[in-house]
Structure 1
């Protein structure tokens, strides 16, 4: 892989993993526009690992609280916010795991048609705009209940379909459920930790069957660059949502979907 290919793929993964615009949709489209060959499973795992490090680093205080309160629960059976959030994250991840295994069984190569991706970008972009415009803003993460968590988890399960966007569908659902924009994004980002980690482990299982050479330098660059771009995307997203709406992302998704439909017409 050339440095340009590594840079572009790491940037696309790092930026679009956390912005509600569909990372898988963008990554699938890159070869259509560039003619580059598939980057391979090694690189996929590397850039996922980089984005996982980014969210762990940015939300290190939340992660430390979750770990600390979980340890406190095991030692003293004391239920604090951290242990509740930890359980919520696990519960919300279960539907994605189940749906992901079913999806991989029936669609091992995924639904990667540009037209299908474009339609999902548009449809879920419209839903995001509606949720942000009409959703109430009355709750924070510590106000979540089991029903809300399960609904967010079920919504996240759809994100395995290219063009949907994991962060997009979870933020959209959280907005429909009454979380404010910042808290919706915060829970979505924390939910990325078990989701990205689980996806990387699942890919690692497939990678164990691979016997070819491992391009260490390419993987190191992929991890480093996706970490930087991922961290910047999270920082941008969290700061933006303190002052403005999700409209910019809704418009972008609809516009990109329209361009793809016209391009591949």
Structure 2
């Protein structure tokens, strides 16, 4: 992998990881564009690590408050809205974590077909559009109940299917539950942190066993570009969705899905 390829893949990762458009589908398509159906485990790990660092830094104040109050609640200091949100992030992660372990091989092999991605982009894109049009709620992430969190958590597990979009499906569920666009996005991003961290750790262990196939310089550039582009994407997405809503992303998903299906047919 040369530096140009590393930069392009990192931009694809950074600009799509938290948009409701499926970063996995875009990375696979980018890999095929470069003549590589799969760009390599080391590249996957480093690009997702860049996105992880970016989302943690962006929400550093919220995360610090959640951790402080969560540990405080364990020490008997009483529950707060931040400690409760911390529990919701943990509980909401469980369904995807458990199913991710059980269905890991299936998700990495059988589900990676382009027809699956194209269909998922369209179907779940339309669901996102319906949720955005029908929902328009005003609830924030602190108003979530256990039932709400379990629904969003199981929705996140559906993102094992490429083309679904982890952020897209969790935002869809949150919007159907009456959350505002911004709150749905914020909770989706917070919910992503344990999943991305766990996946990065798992794949890092595998990478240590198999060794890297790319140069460290290219990987370093990929990490940096992924982190910076992810941070920018989160910032501008949260600023824009209150005004433009989800419909532009719905249209993009449907068109991209239709293009993929037209190519393979």
Q: Secondary structure of the residue that 1:171 maps to in structure 2?
A: helix
Is the contact made by 1:132 and 1:172 (CA closer than 8 Å) also made in structure 2?
A: yes
1:111 aligns with 2:118: no
Q: Distance in 1 between matches of 2:223 and 2:205?
A: 19
Is the contact made by 1:104 and 1:110 (CA closer than 8 Å) also made in structure 2?
A: no
1:21 aligns with 2:45: no
**Residue of structure 2 equivalent to 1:5:** 5
Residue 34 of structure 1, CA deviation: 2.7
Q: Distance in 2 between matches of 1:212 and 1:236?
A: 34
Q: Distance in 2 between matches of 1:4 and 1:66?
A: 39
Q: Which moved more, 1:25-34 or 1:4-13?
A: 25-34
Q: Distance in 1 between matches of 2:250 and 2:159?
A: 16
Q: Distance in 2 between matches of 1:71 and 1:228?
A: 30
**Residue of structure 2 equivalent to 1:251:** 251
Aligned pairs for 1:58-207 (under 5 A) are 58-207=58-207
- Pairs aligned (count): 265
Residue 68 of structure 1, CA deviation: 1.7
**Residue of structure 2 equivalent to 1:219:** 219
Is the contact made by 2:40 and 2:213 (CA closer than 8 Å) also made in structure 1?
A: no
Q: Which runs of 5+ in 1 are unaligned?
A: none
Q: Which moved more, 1:9-18 or 1:72-81?
A: 72-81
Is the contact made by 1:66 and 1:83 (CA closer than 8 Å) also made in structure 2?
A: yes
Quick one: structure 1 residues 131 and 47, their matched pair in 2 at CA, closer, same or farther if it must change by over 3 Å? same
Is the contact made by 2:156 and 2:169 (CA closer than 8 Å) also made in structure 1?
A: yes
Residue 108 of structure 1, CA deviation: 4.6
1:226-255 Cα shifts (integer Å, max 9, x gaps): 001100110111001222210011010001
Q: Distance in 2 between matches of 1:44 and 1:19?
A: 18
Q: Which runs of 5+ in 2 are unaligned?
A: none
Residue 82 of structure 1, CA deviation: 1.6
TM-score normalized by structure 1? 0.95
CA-based RMSD: 1.5
Is the contact made by 2:118 and 2:256 (CA closer than 8 Å) also made in structure 1?
A: yes
TM-score normalized by structure 2? 0.95
1:164-214 Cα shifts (integer Å, max 9, x gaps): 000000000000000000000000011111111011011122223214577
Is the contact made by 2:14 and 2:228 (CA closer than 8 Å) also made in structure 1?
A: yes
**Residue of structure 2 equivalent to 1:48:** 48
Is the contact made by 1:89 and 1:191 (CA closer than 8 Å) also made in structure 2?
A: yes
Q: Which moved more, 1:11-20 or 1:25-34?
A: 25-34
Residue 111 of structure 1, CA deviation: 1.3
